[in-house]
Structure 1
Amino acid sequence: MNGKLGRLYEYFMGFLFPNVCQLCNNTAAYREEGYVCEKCRQQRTKISEPFCYVCGIQLNGNFEGIERPLCAQCREMPPYFDWARANSLSEGNVYQAILYYKYSHKVWFEHWLGKLLIETAQTYLDPADWDVIVPVPLHPSRKRKRGYNQAERLGRILSKSLNIPIKEIYRVVNTPAQASLNRV
């Protein structure tokens, strides 16, 4: 939105949701930042090399000369995917924002989480290698309970940024939530 209508919308949203960080409640933060202040955005542990080539977990130690280092879990029990990458460790402010976004309907966090996703994709992926983005589907009953599919919404942000089409698939079996499962 632009012009007078856009300014009116921003004013109204600012009235409903004051421009304060939704993590620390102390510092000014704005919608385009996901209402997360600079200090809270910086308080995260960014994953950097060395990391497991398969699951992307941060590794400790010297892996110099090893082209594709693996963590103990991926060596002992390889997962059913080729590889994964994450921007930051799932702790502190990142973890809190994910929980708020996923389970508490605080969708404004998707601006910040989407930026982290785009940053990671631009670092590790070549969009020319992708045909389509397929977000993990939610069963209709779980989607009704949450009100939205966060993977689909973040997938759309990534799709728009990288100019890769998005394709929805549908879950027909109501399997247990991934958060309740272990790796086995």
Structure 2
Amino acid sequence: MKIRIANNIRKEEDKLICLICEAPLLHSLSWRSFFFFKTEEKICRECKESFIKIKGSVCRKCGRPQSSEKLCPDCLKWEANPKTCGLLQQNRSVYVYNPFMKEVLARFKFRGDAELVYAFAPSFSRAFQTYCSHSDIALVPIPLSEERKKERGFNQAERLASLLNRPIMQPLIRTENEKQSKKSKAERLKQKTVFKTEKGSVKGLNVMLIDDLYTTGATLHHAAECLKADGEANTVSSYTLIRS
């Protein structure tokens, strides 16, 4: 039996290549990692080191890296507006949006490489345990429009949420279809209705929105507004892969 398992480990080891650059992965599979293969690193050291994790001081509200925990300029604007003040309790993110991450994210989102989600899995899961370990939260991935999801073949926010091994709710429906990446910062901030939900869909729940990228915060604030006003959520916070 041990010989058979050892042979299987060797076969799996021979197949291991980096999900990003396709270089052979040099680390050996342990007995434990053979049985829990999805938890292993699936990118090479060079690619892993090309990602920059967010460390040190961040804006206490949105998690933007900066020299202090004071509110960043964007958050000051959100909190100064009576309509958006307090909508989003807090955001935390794992990575900085550097050129390497920008290219990998483009492959993941726009070129249909859904398996790239596993390049982020260990760090995304570990950081979640640090920032968002509360047991009473409901995970809600930011939805795509039906047309956009059909075009891509998957929703990247759903893929990321699936890494966290928690129940996922999908109370939000996206009502606009234009790509956010095509819009300017001003256009994103001016958007009116972006999501809808059924009355009381998340009543009394503490919602954790999951998304790939926090840029201006507009999408997450629109989602939070919808979930609190119509969905009757208790609180809404967010966890994203990247903070630009």
TM-score by length of 1: 0.73
Quote the offset at 1:26 in angstroms: 4.4
1:133 aligns with 2:133: no
SS in 1 for 2:122: helix
Map 1:53-92 → 2, pairs under 5 A = 53-60=60-67, 63=68, 68-78=69-79, 80-92=87-99
Q: Percent identity?
A: 23
Contact 1:56–1:85 (CA<8 Å) still a contact in 2? yes
User: What is the number of equivalent residue pairs in this alignment?
Assistant: 163
Q: How has the CA–CA distance of structure 1 residues 110 and 29 changed in structure 2, closer, same or farther, with 3 Å as cutoff?
A: farther
Question: Gapped runs of 5+ residues in structure 2?
Answer: 28-36, 190-244
CA distance in 1, matches of 2:63, 2:132: 13
Which structure shows the higher strand fraction?
2
Map 1:1-184 → 2, pairs under 5 A = 14=15, 19-28=16-25, 32=38, 35-60=42-67, 63=68, 68-78=69-79, 80-130=87-137, 132-158=138-164, 160=165, 164-171=166-173, 173-181=175-183, 182=185, 184=189
SS in 2 for 1:85: strand
CA distance in 1, matches of 2:112, 2:41: 13
SS in 2 for 1:127: coil
Aligned-residue Cα RMSD (Å) equals 3.0
Q: How has the CA–CA distance of structure 1 residues 172 and 71 changed in structure 2, closer, same or farther, with 3 Å as cutoff?
A: closer
Q: Which has the higher contact order (CA 8 A, sep 6+)?
A: 2
Question: Gapped runs of 5+ residues in structure 1?
Answer: none
SS in 1 for 2:148: helix
CA distance in 1, matches of 2:174, 2:51: 36
Contact 1:29–1:35 (CA<8 Å) still a contact in 2? no
CA distance in 2, matches of 1:29, 1:71: 42
CA distance in 1, matches of 2:89, 2:49: 30
TM-score by length of 2: 0.57
Q: How has the CA–CA distance of structure 1 residues 29 and 180 changed in structure 2, closer, same or farther, with 3 Å as cutoff?
A: farther
CA distance in 2, matches of 1:178, 1:34: 30
